[in-house]
Amino acid sequence: MKLTYLSHSCALIQTESHAILIDPFLTGNDLAPISSDDVLCDFIILTHGHEDHVGDTAAIARRTGATIISNFEIASYFERQGFATHGLGHGGGWTFPFGRVKLTIAHHSSSYPDAEGNLRYMGNPAGVILTIDGRNIYHAGDTSVFLDMELIGRMHPLELALLPIGDNFTMGIEEAAEAARLLKPRMIVPVHYNTFDLIKADPKELATMLEGTDTRVVALKPGEALEL
């Protein structure tokens, strides 16, 4: 399978038969390497309801017919608008045609503005574990580091973890290094940084902090891909 980093928290995973898009924030994102009009996918996974994660979900799902996978509240929100959805609860997983998706906890919040700008409750924020072709990929969503990451890594030995490093809204470099020690992934792709001034970060600092461990930091530029 191939994972392409599309900037911010967005990644596209392509298997032999399916394409899975996570947190498609492309419109209004200066780092996005592709227009939302050009993305093809069969499934869209959303970690939480914030605008920099829901992003272009409606437009892409309308054009492609993709099924939206998220927590119960976000799935219901899109289902009421006529989209194909699949809702999950934390700790729960479901086996889709491409592989298994399971939601984990994340320490953050989850809301989406309505037409008046009032924040609508969008359930609890999540991380996601994908198991595809026998390999586990963890997308942490927006979160701080938390001790249960040790449990995530123990139950799902990780090939790859996508971890936020931008600080301010999520963990920064130091917490991401601690997350790496708990999760023990073979590789980390840093996400959620450099999109805005508030979340400037240098992934090389994380790589330096993890020297001598079994975890390799792979800092993908927007549009770059990794074969797994």
Token pair belonging to 3: 């994972």
Site string for Ni ion, 135-164 (x = CB under 5 A): -------x----------------------
Whole-angstrom distance, CA of residue 122 vs CA of residue 113: 10
Question: What minimum distance in Å lies between the beta carbon of 144 and Ni ion?
Answer: 12
- The greatest distance separating any two alpha carbons of the chain, rounded to the nearest whole angstrom, comes to 51
Contacts of Ni ion in 28-67 (CB under 5 A): 50
Out of Mn ion, Ni ion, none, what residue 102 binds, judged by CB under 5 to 8 A for its kind, is: none
What residue type is 104 in one-letter code?
T
* C-alpha dihedral sign at 94, 120, 30, 39: positive
Whole-angstrom distance, CA of residue 139 vs CA of residue 13: 12
Contact flag: residue 175 with Ni ion (CB under 5 A) = no
Site string for Mn ion, 130-159 (x = CB under 5 A): ------------x-----------------
Instruction: Calculate the CA dihedral of residues 154, 133, 67, 33 and round it to 10 degrees.
Output: 90
Contact flag: residue 167 with Mn ion (CB under 5 A) = no
Question: What minimum distance in Å lies between the beta carbon of 148 and Ni ion?
Answer: 19
Q: Residue 42 or residue 53: which is nearer to Ni ion going by CB? A: 53
Residues that bind Ni ion (CB under 5 A): 50, 142
